[in-house]
Chain A
Amino acid sequence: MIMASKTNVLYLLLPSFISIYLLEKEKIMANSYTDVPEIKFHMEHPLMKRIVELKERNYADYGQYDYAPKDYEDAQENYDSLLEITGDINANIIGPNSEDVDAEGPHCENGRVRYASKTYENLDATIKAGLCGMTMPRRYGGLNLPNVVYTAANEIIAEGDAGFENIWSLQDCIETLYEFGDEDQRKRYIPRVCAGETMSMDLTEPDAGSDLQSVMLKATFDEKENCWRLNGVKRFITNGDADIHLVLARSVEGTRDGRGLSMFIYDKRNGGVDVRRIENKLGIHGSPTCELVYKNAKAELCGSEKLGLIKYVMGLMNGARLGIASQSVGAEQAAYEEAINYARDRKQFGKEIINFPAVYDMIARIKAKLDAGRSLLYMTARYVDIYKALDDISKERKLTPEERDEFKKYSKLADAFTPLAKGMNSEFANESAYDSIQVHGGSGFMLEYKCQRVYRDARIMSIYEGTTQLQTVAAIRYITSGFYANVIKDYEAEPVAAEYESYAVRIKDMADKLAYCTNKAKEANNQDFLDLCSRKLYEMTAYTIMCHLLLQDTQRAPELFGKSLVVFMNYAESEVAKHFNYVLKLDVDQLPSYVQE
């Protein structure tokens, strides 16, 4: 019963030795949220008050749920603590596990996925922390977070491990089920996702990648069992062995286009879908990319038949694109941290390499793109939040005429900004990961350094959920219709402090160049010519908008963004001038020279 008293004596005598041991062993705890004050800045944007008011229905849940906020300040405090917990988990669990997850990867065993062992640790942490069902209403067990906050958590986790972020963030497929499923489906599935079950969206097939209209997975109605049955193959399905799947399938026999496609819910508990193989990929190794075989799998229709692609997948994709935009910003943050930390430590020619202009130029550009891209990301998320909250409210009551106008305005802004945020940030992630390796020199080419993983992981970001080329397609109509031009005009009308006026003048010049090129592309009256110009116009638009956003941010927080404004303006202006010159010289007569037979 008594602990050896002699041992007690020993410990009485030796406390300081033990303290010294502990001192050497323990390191200061990092936090991926509190260490990056730019994220918190975006949580406190003036539009947030309106977003939270809508999302919280004027704080009607307060008193009904013990974790619901009572007012705006209370909600902000909650968001802050949630992101602080996310930052803690990322810095101390997900990030440190990422190298092992990357090396081990998932495996396919008897038709099932076995994740890398540390992926289970990551999942356990996110589930125990309750980072599930983030945006879902409380009545289903969700956290009722605005998209902006979910986006921030997403970015934070992607910084630690973009592959794990895929598995975790697929929970946002539940938004589509919430939006289009019936109440019975909501009650059955949403609480499961809020408790940590994973999701997947099964869209692509061997012959249906970017062209989803060609989806052939067959859905037939089983009269006897009164359910749908799925048969066929899906390919490149991220987290394909998830608990709950949203599946795009052809329910109208004999059709060949998007109008014969419907959305189905497949519940893994029912069985019928096996994983045939897991792809061997360049990056995001932690995320299992699966080939799935559906053998008479029982499924239920989500929403109405034939609206699968036309309506639901479009909604699903817009959410997924915002998700990839935030994943990309996370990768940019990782590239920045790896580059600057290495450059601060590494000495050549007698000093740390961060002191050389050739090196700090690269790091400054990584940071400038990160700050500008992040600003675009969160502005998009805010637009999404307002229209989605109003859309949700419209199911409970009739919107007032003012609210209807607000809904229209923000849903269009969200639709226009999503392809900009996804395309630009995914390209930035690649460029910055490339530069991050360059800062490392030869070491960056070695697998021991994280920068090479960021580089490999980033490569898919400009491809999946719609390539940058498809983001351009989604954006071009807003360019030719003058929608972005009007947004830019609105931004130009924002007040600018005297010391920043020169920036406003420079941005105006960028907008003028964009207008000139847009007119030239339109006036040629040739679709191929317009398509050929579209990427240039798209980037010119995005740079002009990002400069405006960064200028607004800098005026509110010069200590955070002052340097990036200078660097990004120089960079963006030169990019816009480059594209301007290109379009200036481009002529319809040159088109044949672009076509390689």
Chain B
Amino acid sequence: MSLKIIVLAKQVPDTRNVGPDAMTPEGTVNRAALPAVFNPEDLNALEQALRLKDANPGSTITMLTMGLPKAAEVLKEGIFRGADEGVLISDRPLGGADTLATSYTLAQAIKKIGDYDIIICGRQAIDGDTAQVGPQVAEKLGLTQITYTEEIISLDKDAKKIVAKRHIDGGVETVEGPLPIVVTVNGSAAPCRVRNVKRVWANKNREFPVWGAADIDADPAQIGKAGSPTNVKAVKNIVFKAKENKTLTSSDEDINSLIVELMESNTIG
């Protein structure tokens, strides 16, 4: 049974290899000093997609990314590892988007692609670490989501059912969901397979369709800076000195006590 799979990927500054010039004096990320890489957890997501493709011959994987023209490199990288198609969303009005505007834009592009069974992306990107885009895309599309996925155990297109293992605090849980669905994948999931030589040689000069705001029928008020309620005041590098750790549950009490503690220590507020 062949599947239509969409993988969301982001090109990010490689914050894993930071030097002393990684931050500007203003406290923002100095993108020029950091090489651009395929967001690591999106690679884990791609591997889950490739495994679905292996198990379901005839399946196709479409990579979708938003960014500057250079971001097409992650599409190519995805093709080198086994993806079939790629689409770059790139347009000046889309610049400066926060997670909300990004999710809206991606959701619009996914609507344009139209035919899909599953959307897979990394849990979060290493430049923002928000883990919001995947879940927000699901919301925008009105789809179910499985987050923190370790492994897609099975997918039955006829029964429109997926079973996946999720990473939870202190263990894993196995969950079932309907299709189509959004799945976000953890960095602890299987690493992505290597590039394939023949695919690299055949696709090294490949070009990809570029969609602008008009192509995806985007509402100008919901994209780019205009659609982004988040304002980053400053980014600081904080050295985490705490020697003890606390386990917090998602109960209201624990969340409130954490917020109070962070405000008292002036970490936020």
**A interface residue numbers (CB < 8 A to B):** 1-4, 6-20, 22-23, 26, 28, 66-69, 77-78, 81-82, 85, 88-89, 93, 125, 128-131, 143
Interface-facing stretch out of B84-92, B102-110, B131-139, B212-220: B131-139
Cβ contacts under 8 Å, B130 to chain A: 11-12, 15
Top 4 A-B residue pairs of the complex, sorted by shortest distance between their CB atoms: A15-B129, A26-B16, A67-B201, A66-B202
Q: A128, B193: Cβ atoms under 8 Å?
A: yes
Complex-state Cα separation, A12 to B98, whole angstroms: 12
User: CB of B159 within 8 A of chain A?
Assistant: no
Interchain Cβ contacts under 8 Å between A and B, 30 examples: A1-B138, A1-B139, A6-B252, A7-B250, A8-B131, A8-B132, A8-B135, A10-B248, A11-B130, A13-B262, A15-B129, A16-B129, A16-B235, A20-B238, A22-B16, A22-B126, A23-B15, A23-B16, A67-B199, A67-B202, A69-B201, A81-B197, A81-B204, A85-B195, A85-B200, A88-B194, A128-B193, A128-B194, A129-B194, A129-B195
Closest to A69 in B: B201
**Using a CB-CB cutoff of 8 Å, which residues 175-231 of chain B contact chain A?**
193-202, 204
Q: Which of A10, A11, A85, A131 contacts B255 (CB 8 A)?
A: A10
B71 to chain A minimum Cβ distance, whole angstroms, is 20
A138 to chain B minimum Cβ distance, whole angstroms, is 9
Q: Mark contacts of B8-19 with chain A using CB atoms, 8 A cut-off: 1 yes-contact digit, 0 otherwise.
A: 000000011110
Complex-state Cα separation, A23 to B248, whole angstroms: 24
Complex-state Cα separation, A11 to B193, whole angstroms: 29
Known: A8-B131, A81-B201. 13 other contacts (CB 8 A): A2-B135, A3-B147, A14-B129, A16-B237, A18-B129, A22-B15, A69-B201, A81-B200, A88-B194, A93-B194, A128-B193, A128-B196, A130-B198
B173 to chain A minimum Cβ distance, whole angstroms, is 14
Complex-state Cα separation, A78 to B204, whole angstroms: 9
Cβ contacts under 8 Å, B252 to chain A: 6
Q: A15, B128: Cβ atoms under 8 Å?
A: yes
Cβ contacts under 8 Å, A14 to chain B: 129
Complex-state Cα separation, A9 to B131, whole angstroms: 10
Closest to B237 in A: A16
Cβ contacts under 8 Å, A4 to chain B: 250
Complex-state Cα separation, A156 to B138, whole angstroms: 44
B259 to chain A minimum Cβ distance, whole angstroms, is 8
Q: B129, A11: Cβ atoms under 8 Å?
A: yes
Cβ contacts under 8 Å, A17 to chain B: 238, 240
Cβ contacts under 8 Å, B255 to chain A: 6, 9-10
A76 to chain B minimum Cβ distance, whole angstroms, is 12
User: CB of B239 within 8 A of chain A?
Assistant: yes
Residues of A contacting B: mostly: helix
A69 to chain B minimum Cβ distance, whole angstroms, is 8
B13 to chain A minimum Cβ distance, whole angstroms, is 11
Cβ contacts under 8 Å, A66 to chain B: 201-202
Q: A143, B197: Cβ atoms under 8 Å?
A: yes
Q: Which of B126, B131, B147, B194 contacts A125 (CB 8 A)?
A: B194
B166 to chain A minimum Cβ distance, whole angstroms, is 11
- Tally of A-B residue pairs with Cβ under 8 A? 104
Cβ contacts under 8 Å, A26 to chain B: 16-17, 40
Complex-state Cα separation, A19 to B131, whole angstroms: 13
Cβ contacts under 8 Å, B128 to chain A: 15
Complex-state Cα separation, A66 to B144, whole angstroms: 39
Closest to A65 in B: B202
Interface centre among A6, A7, A85, A89 (most CB of B within 10 A): A6
Q: A11, B131: Cβ atoms under 8 Å?
A: yes
Cβ contacts under 8 Å, A19 to chain B: 15, 126, 129
Cβ contacts under 8 Å, B201 to chain A: 66-69, 78, 81-82
Q: A129, B236: Cβ atoms under 8 Å?
A: no
Q: B204, A20: Cβ atoms under 8 Å?
A: no
Q: B197, A11: Cβ atoms under 8 Å?
A: no
Please judge, given known A-B contacts A67-B198, A78-B201, A129-B195, whether A11 and B132 are in contact too, CB under 8 Å: yes
User: CB of B149 within 8 A of chain A?
Assistant: no
Closest to B129 in A: A15
Complex-state Cα separation, A7 to B237, whole angstroms: 22
Please judge, given known A-B contacts A3-B135, A7-B250, A13-B268, whether A129 and B197 are in contact too, CB under 8 Å: yes
**Using a CB-CB cutoff of 8 Å, which residues 39-85 of chain B contact chain A?**
40
Cβ contacts under 8 Å, A7 to chain B: 250
Complex-state Cα separation, A454 to B86, whole angstroms: 44
Complex-state Cα separation, A77 to B193, whole angstroms: 22
Cβ contacts under 8 Å, A22 to chain B: 15-16, 126
User: CB of B113 within 8 A of chain A?
Assistant: no
A168 to chain B minimum Cβ distance, whole angstroms, is 14
Q: B131, A2: Cβ atoms under 8 Å?
A: no
Please judge, given known A-B contacts A3-B145, A16-B235, A81-B204, whether A129 and B129 are in contact too, CB under 8 Å: no
Please judge, given known A-B contacts A1-B145, A15-B129, whether A131 and B197 are in contact too, CB under 8 Å: yes
Closest to B230 in A: A12
Complex-state Cα separation, A2 to B138, whole angstroms: 9
Complex-state Cα separation, A498 to B87, whole angstroms: 57
Q: Which of A10, A11, A16, A93 contacts B124 (CB 8 A)?
A: A11
Closest to A128 in B: B193
User: CB of B153 within 8 A of chain A?
Assistant: no
A195 to chain B minimum Cβ distance, whole angstroms, is 12
**Using a CB-CB cutoff of 8 Å, which residues 18-32 of chain B contact chain A?**
18
Cβ contacts under 8 Å, B198 to chain A: 67, 130, 143
Cβ contacts under 8 Å, A85 to chain B: 194-195, 197, 200
User: CB of B258 within 8 A of chain A?
Assistant: yes
B39 to chain A minimum Cβ distance, whole angstroms, is 11
Closest to A21 in B: B240
Interface centre among B128, B193, B200 (most CB of A within 10 A): B200
Cβ contacts under 8 Å, A78 to chain B: 200-201
Complex-state Cα separation, A13 to B40, whole angstroms: 21
Complex-state Cα separation, A67 to B202, whole angstroms: 4
A480 to chain B minimum Cβ distance, whole angstroms, is 44
Closest to B144 in A: A1
Complex-state Cα separation, A520 to B60, whole angstroms: 73
Q: A28, B17: Cβ atoms under 8 Å?
A: yes
Q: B197, A6: Cβ atoms under 8 Å?
A: no
Complex-state Cα separation, A12 to B147, whole angstroms: 16
Q: B204, A77: Cβ atoms under 8 Å?
A: yes
Cβ contacts under 8 Å, A88 to chain B: 194-195
Complex-state Cα separation, A227 to B126, whole angstroms: 61
B195 to chain A minimum Cβ distance, whole angstroms, is 5
Please judge, given known A-B contacts A6-B255, A16-B237, whether A82 and B197 are in contact too, CB under 8 Å: yes
Cβ contacts under 8 Å, B18 to chain A: 23
Complex-state Cα separation, A78 to B196, whole angstroms: 12
Complex-state Cα separation, A68 to B202, whole angstroms: 8
A35 to chain B minimum Cβ distance, whole angstroms, is 15
Complex-state Cα separation, A130 to B202, whole angstroms: 13
Cβ contacts under 8 Å, A12 to chain B: 130, 132
Complex-state Cα separation, A13 to B135, whole angstroms: 17
Q: B196, A130: Cβ atoms under 8 Å?
A: yes
Q: A6, B250: Cβ atoms under 8 Å?
A: yes
Interface centre among A3, A20, A69, A82 (most CB of B within 10 A): A3
B104 to chain A minimum Cβ distance, whole angstroms, is 16
